[in-house]
């Protein structure tokens, strides 16, 4: 692997089943494949990078995640094209996944930034942007 490439991301989630359903579908649409699965966790991999989801312990569920607090704001992924962004947007809407910035969609990131922004079950913001 090239120096500086991302090895993996690990996210703790409040409901692994809900997160795995949305993230699993989305990551497969981007070319990821199921990598590991164990009691309390699941991961998907694309080339040398993988994304891990782990069920948070009950004692840590009292404070909900918010992207404006210190820590992760969002994860952004490349789409194949603008058409791919549109396809994923339609699928997200069909699945009832909250689309963010609908009044500015698909240019919420600016006039030349074609993307869809949505939230996972824990309200982690995800961006899919056309190259």
Secondary structure tally for the chain: helices H, strands E: 2, 7
Query: How far is the C-alpha of 52 from the C-alpha of 62, rounded, in Å?
Result: 22
Query: How far is the C-alpha of 58 from the C-alpha of 127, rounded, in Å?
Result: 28
* Class (C level, CATH) for 73-131: alpha beta
Mean pLDDT of the chain: 95
Same fold, 1-58 and 73-131: yes
Domain boundaries, the chain: 1-58, 73-131
Is the Cβ–Cβ distance between 55 and 49 less than 8 Å?
no
Statement: residue 111 has pLDDT above 90? no
Write down the pLDDT at residue 32: 98
Is the Cβ–Cβ distance between 80 and 29 less than 8 Å?
no
Which two three-digit tokens encode residue 1?
A: 């692997």
Write down the pLDDT at residue 102: 94
Tell me which DSSP letter residue 30 carries.
T
* Class (C level, CATH) for 1-58: alpha beta
């Amino acid at each position: 692997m090239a120096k500086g490439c991302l090895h993996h991301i690990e996210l703790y989630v409040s409901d692994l089943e809900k997160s795995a359903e949305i993230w699993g579908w989305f990551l497969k649409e981007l070319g990821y494949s199921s990598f590991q699965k164990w009691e309390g966790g699941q991961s998907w991999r694309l080339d040398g990078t993988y994304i891990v989801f782990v069920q948070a312990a009950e004692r840590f569920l009292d404070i909900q995640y918010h992207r404006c607090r210190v820590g992760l704001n969002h994860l952004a992924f490349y789409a194949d094209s603008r058409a791919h962004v549109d396809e994923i947007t339609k699928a997200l809407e069909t699945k009832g996944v909250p689309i963010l910035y609908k009044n500015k969609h698909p240019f919420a990131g600016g006039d030349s930034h074609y993307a869809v922004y949505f939230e996972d079950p824990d309200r982690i913001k995800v961006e899919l942007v056309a190259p």
